Amino acid sequence: MKIRDLPFTVTNWDALPSTEHRGETGTSFWRTFEAGDLRVRIVDYSSGYRADHWCGRGHVLLLLTGELLVKLKDGREFQLEPGMSFQAADDEANPHLGSSIKGARVFIVD
C-alpha cells in the first residue's frame, strides 16, 4: 500500500455519518474516511451478522471489540478476538467472508 498526496488529517469518527450495509443476515454500519485510493473505516457489525459476498479486496482489519469469524473460500477459518488483526492483499484467488454471532467493531484500512 502506498499512501500518496494525503496531508496530515485528523478524523473524529463520532462526527462522521454512519451508513447501513445489510449482510446475508444482520447489518453493518460504516463510518468512512476516503482520500484518493485510501479508504479507512470503523465498522460495527450487529449480532448475527454474516457478509453477503466473498470479498477479494485487500484489507488491514483490527478487531476492536466483540468477535469476528473470518472464513477463506479454501475452507480455512480464523476466529479473531479483540486486539487481533488480519492483513490480506487484493487477491481474487483468496477471498474472505466475515461473520459475527455476538457483534463486533473493527477498524479497516483498504
61-80 pLDDT tens trace: 999 999 999 999 999 999 99
Task: Quote the radius of gyration of the chain (alpha carbons, Å).
Answer: 14
Q: Which residues of the chain have pLDDT under 70?
A: none
DSSP E strand stretches across 67-103? 68-72, 77-80, 85-88, 96-100
pLDDT of residue 78: 97
Cβ pair 81, 62 in contact under 8 A: no
**AA identity, residue 3:** I
What pLDDT does residue 109 have? Answer: 96
Q: Domains in the chain, start-ordered, CATH in brackets?
A: 19-109 (2.60.120.10)
In this prediction, residue 3 carries a pLDDT of 85
Predicted pLDDT of residue 63: 98
pLDDT at res. 106: 98
